[in-house]
Amino acid sequence: MRVHYVLNHGETPAGKLADVEIHFEEGLLQGLKLVGASLWRSKKGEGPTVLVPSRSYATAGGVRYYELLRSSGNGASGPGDEDAEGKLAMRRFKEYLREEYRKITALPDEPSPESARAAGRKAASAAR
């Protein structure tokens, strides 16, 4: 399995940082990808917010969301019934996505071929 980030370079919506795709490289799901997760700029100024695919459903108190990525434990029987282990796994997954995104965005941009050639000419002339 490989996590792939599709960065949102100033496109709309403005608060969206990246889409997250999970590419399966082995087993029964090889050649498929799971889409729908995304990273958003936090309104509170902290690290990016991770959203996973979900479905909305109506309750007497309003609208709630049923996350499609959830615990596979037998204790989870319906919306909102996740066990503590499942919640911990989801928290670890979201933190992993945040950390990998931070690593990607901290990398320097690759120099264009023209600027790389110019740098090579400067180094060659300095060596003379």
Cis peptide before 53 (omega within 30 of 0): no
Q: How many CB atoms lie within 10 A of CB 18?
A: 20
Q: How far apart are CA 90 and CA 128, in angstroms?
A: 58
Of 68, 58, 116, nearest to 90 by C-alpha is 68
- The reported pTM is 0.70
At 52, list the tokens. Answer: 């996973």
pLDDT band at 46 (very low <50, low <70, confident <90, very high): confident
Identify the H or E element spanning 63: strand 62-67
For residue range 72-112, list pLDDT tens digits in order. Answer: 876 545 555 557 888 899 999 999 999 999 999 887 766 55
